[in-house]
C-alpha cells in the first residue's frame, strides 16, 4: 500500500504580511549606463601639467673633503670626481648610482657668495620660461638661466618667502 502524502494548507495572510511585489518584465540595473558608440564623443580630458620631479641635490660647502668624510660616514655614500664643469665637482654615490653633487662655495675675491647649504633641483620643460614665471609670481631669479656643458640648463630661483630652488632641464641628444 502506498503512503499518503500530507496535504499542506495554504498560509493565511495576516495584517503584518505584505504581498510580494510583482516582478516587472523589464529589469532596471543599478549599474551606471555604459556609453554607446552611437553617442557623441566626450571632450578630451584636460592634460595635467608635466610632473616636476626632484632630479638632483647639490651641496655647496667650504670643505669638500670634510663633507665627503661626513656623508660617507653618516650614510655610507661613496664619492668620485665629476668632470662636467671647469670647477672641481664631487659626485656622491650609493649602490652604484649618482645621488648628489658637491662643490666648494664660490667666492667673490676672498668672500664666499653664500653660506654652505644644500640646493634641490626640480626638473622642468623650459628653464627660461620657468624663471620668468617665478618672477611673475613674486619670486626672483638668483642665478640667471645658464648652460652646464654637456649636461643641461639650470637657474636658481627664490620664492617670495626667500627659499631658493634650482630648476633644471637636461641636454637632449
pLDDT one-digit tens code per residue, 68-96 = 999 999 999 999 998 767 789 999 999 99
pLDDT digits (tens, 9 = 90+) for 106-164: 999 999 999 999 999 999 999 999 999 999 999 999 999 999 998 999 999 999 999 99
CA neighbor of 117 nearest in space, from 163, 72, 153, 75: 163
**If you search the block for the grid coordinates 631658493, which residue do you land on?**
164
Burial of 141 (0-12, 13-18, 19+ CB in 10 A): middle
For residue 14, what pLDDT is reported? 47
For residue 86, what pLDDT is reported? 79
Structural domains of the chain sorted by starting position, each given as residue range(s) with its CATH number in brackets: 55-115 (3.10.180.10), 124-173 (3.10.180.10)
- Rounded Cα distance between 95 and 74, Å, is 15
HSE of 36 in the Cβ direction (CA atoms, 13 Å)?
Answer: 3
The structure's pTM equals 0.67
- Rounded Cα distance between 141 and 128, Å, is 10
pLDDT at 52 over 90: no
For residue 13, what pLDDT is reported? 46
For residue 71, what pLDDT is reported? 97
C-alpha cell at 92: 656622491
Angle at 91 between CA 88 and CA 92, to 5 degrees: 140
> Over pLDDT 70: what percentage of the chain?
70
Amino acid at each position: 500500500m502506498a503512503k499518503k502524502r500530507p496535504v499542506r494548507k495554504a498560509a493565511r495572510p495576516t495584517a503584518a504580511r505584505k504581498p510580494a511585489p510583482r516582478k516587472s518584465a523589464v529589469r532596471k540595473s543599478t549599474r551606471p549606463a555604459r556609453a554607446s558608440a552611437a553617442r557623441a564623443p566626450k571632450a578630451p580630458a584636460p592634460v595635467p601639467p608635466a610632473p616636476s620631479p626632484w632630479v638632483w641635490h647639490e651641496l655647496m660647502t667650504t670643505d669638500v673633503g670634510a663633507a665627503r668624510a661626513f656623508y660617507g660616514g653618516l650614510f655610507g655614500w661613496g664619492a668620485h670626481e665629476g668632470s662636467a664643469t671647469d670647477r672641481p665637482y664631487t659626485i656622491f654615490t650609493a649602490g652604484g648610482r649618482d645621488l648628489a653633487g658637491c662643490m666648494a662655495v664660490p667666492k667673490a675675491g676672498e668672500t664666499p657668495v653664500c653660506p654652505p647649504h644644500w640646493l634641490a633641483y626640480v626638473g622642468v620643460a623650459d628653464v627660461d620660461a620657468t624663471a620668468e614665471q617665478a618672477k611673475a609670481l613674486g619670486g626672483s631669479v638668483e642665478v640667471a638661466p645658464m648652460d652646464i656643458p654637456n649636461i643641461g640648463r639650470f637657474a636658481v630661483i627664490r620664492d617670495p618667502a626667500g627659499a631658493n630652488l634650482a630648476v633644471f632641464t637636461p641636454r637632449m641628444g
